[in-house]
Amino acid sequence: MTDAVGGPVATGMSRRTFASDNWAGVHPDVMAAMAAANVDHTPAYGADPVSQAAVGLFKQHFGEDAEVFVVFNGTGANVVGLQSLLRPFEAVICADSAHINVDECGAPERFLGSKLVAVPTPDGKLTPELVARAARGVGDEHHVQPRVVSITQSTEVGTCYRVDEVEALGAWAHGHGMFLHLDGARLSNAAASLRVGLGAFGSAAGVDVLSFGGTKNGAMAAEAVVSFGAGGASSLRFLRKQSMQLASKMRFASAQFAALLTDDLWRANAEHANRMARRLADGATRVPGVSLAYPVEANGVFALLPPAATETLQQEYPFYVWDEDTGVVRWMASFDTTEDDVDGLVDAVAKVMAAQ
Ligand SMILES: Cc1ncc(COP(=O)(O)O)c(C=O)c1O
C-alpha cells in the first residue's frame, strides 16, 4: 500500500475505496481469461500459445516493431526496461515526483547502479527545457552522463502528457544522443483521456522503452516492458531473467493482457475510472473550501483539504495524504468505482467540511 506518502488508513475493507487503483480487485473478464488458460500442460516461460497470442495483441496496439516482455510488477518493468538503455555511469533524468524516484525503494539506483537526476516540475511533467537544464556535464568524466529521459504517463499527480509533448521530448532526447523511457503504469488512463490508441505513445512518439501497466487497469499481477529496439534491446530477455522478473507459468499473466487488449477492454476500464475521477472532482470542488491541486486528466484527484478534515474523513475512507506539507490528498478511481461510491465520498467531504 505504498505508492504515496502519508499512509491512510481506515479499516473498512469491505467496500471499494479511493486509496489506490491497485486496491481494486481483478476485472471479471481478466479472471475468466486466467481460468480459461488453466487447462492442460503447456510450455513455460512464454512459449505457450496464450503468451504468443498476447504478444500479437501488443503488436496490434503498439506496432510490429514492439518487443514485449511480460513481468510481474511495475517496479520490475521500470528497472528491466531502463537497464536495457543504460550503463552504470549513465544517468536518468526524471521528474522529482516520478515513481522511480520516490516509490521504488531505491530499486533503480540499486539494480541499475545509475544516478537518477530528479527535476522539480509544476505538474509532474518534464519538458525539453526542464530536461535541457538537467542534462549537464556531457563528456566530462567527473559527471554522470545523461542517457535517458524518463516520463510517467499518466503522471503521479494525475496529469497527462499530450502526444505532441511526448514527441517533443522524444525528439529532444534523440537529438542529444539520449533515449526516452515511459513509465506507463497508467498508460491506459492517459490514452483513454486523450482519446488516442496506445500506439500513440510508442515508437511513433519517439518512446524507446515503456512499462505498460495491467495491474491498475483490472489485472492481477501483470505488467510488461515494451521495447522498440533501442539500446540493448537484444539483451532484454536476459535482463528480465537476471532481474527475477521471468514468470515460468507466464500464460496466466499473458492471459490477463490478452483480455485487456481484446475489444479494447483496457479503454473501457480506463475511461470508466477517468469518468469517476471527473465526477469526484466536480462534486468535491462544489464543497466550499475544497480545491484541486492539479488538473484532473486521468483517474486521480488531488485535492486540498484542511488536515483536520482529512483526519476525520480517513476514519471512514482510506486514502493517502499525498503531501504532508501542503495537505494535498489523493483519491484514485478504479475500473470498478461506482457513481454511488463517488457520491458517498462527496457527501462525506461535505459533512466534514461543514463541521470545520
Ligand atoms: C507511476 C507508477 N509506476 C509504477 C508503479 C508500479 O509499482 P509496483 O511495483 O507496485 O507494481 C506504480 C504503482 O503504484 C505507479 O504508480
Task: pLDDT tens for the chain, 356 residues: list them.
Answer: 344 444 444 444 557 899 999 999 999 999 999 999 999 999 999 999 999 999 999 999 999 999 999 999 999 999 999 999 999 999 999 999 999 999 999 999 999 999 999 999 999 999 999 999 999 999 999 999 999 999 999 999 999 999 999 999 999 999 999 999 999 999 999 999 999 999 999 999 999 999 999 999 999 999 999 999 998 889 999 999 999 999 999 999 999 999 999 999 999 999 999 999 999 999 999 999 999 999 999 999 999 999 999 999 999 999 999 999 999 999 999 999 999 999 999 999 999 999 98
Could you tell me the three cell numbers for 15? Answer: 467496500
Strand, coil or helix: 284: helix
Determine the number of helices (DSSP H) and then strands (DSSP E) in the chain: 13, 11
For a pocket test of ligand 1, which of 1, 20, 21, 22 has the largest count of ligand atoms closer than 8 A to its C-beta?
22
Kindly report the number of other CB atoms within 10 A of residue 25's CB atom: 13
Ligand 1 within 6 A of CB of 3? yes
User: Under 8 Å CB-to-CB from 35, ≥6 apart: which residues?
Assistant: none
**Alpha-helix residue ranges (DSSP H) falling in the chain:** 28-37, 49-62, 74-83, 99-102, 107-112, 128-134, 163-175, 187-194, 236-242, 251-260, 265-285, 307-316, 339-354
Ligand 1 within 6 A of CB of 99? yes
Q: What is the pLDDT of residue 232?
A: 86
Ligand 1 within 6 A of CB of 185? yes
Contact 300, 331 (CB under 8 A): yes
Could you tell me the three cell numbers for 312? Answer: 476525520
CA of 99 to the centre of ligand 1 (A): 6
Strands 300-304 and 179-184, sheet pairing: unpaired
- How far apart are the C-alpha atoms of 281 and 268, rounded to whole Å? 20
Contact 298, 186 (CB under 8 A): yes
Q: What is the pLDDT of residue 14?
A: 53
Nearest to 319 by CA among 305, 307, 330: 330
Angle at 214 between CA 213 and CA 217, to 5 degrees: 105
Ligand 1 within 6 A of CB of 181? no
Contact 19, 332 (CB under 8 A): yes
Contact 333, 273 (CB under 8 A): yes
Ligand 1 within 6 A of CB of 74? yes
Quick one: which atom of ligand 1 is closest to the CA of 156?
A: 1
Please give the single-letter amino acid code of residue 123: D
Stretch (H or E) spanning 182: strand 179-184
Contact 273, 281 (CB under 8 A): no
Q: Is the dihedral of CA 92, 96, 100, 101 positive or negative?
A: positive
Phi, psi of 139, deg, nearest 5? 90, -10
Ligand 1 within 6 A of CB of 217? no
CA of 197 to the centre of ligand 1 (A): 21
In the beta sheet, which residues pair with residue 146? 91
Q: What is the pLDDT of residue 1?
A: 35
How are the residues of the chain apportioned to helix, strand and coil, as percentages rounded to the nearest 5?
A: 40, 15, 45
Quick one: which atom of ligand 1 is closest to the CA of 75?
A: 9
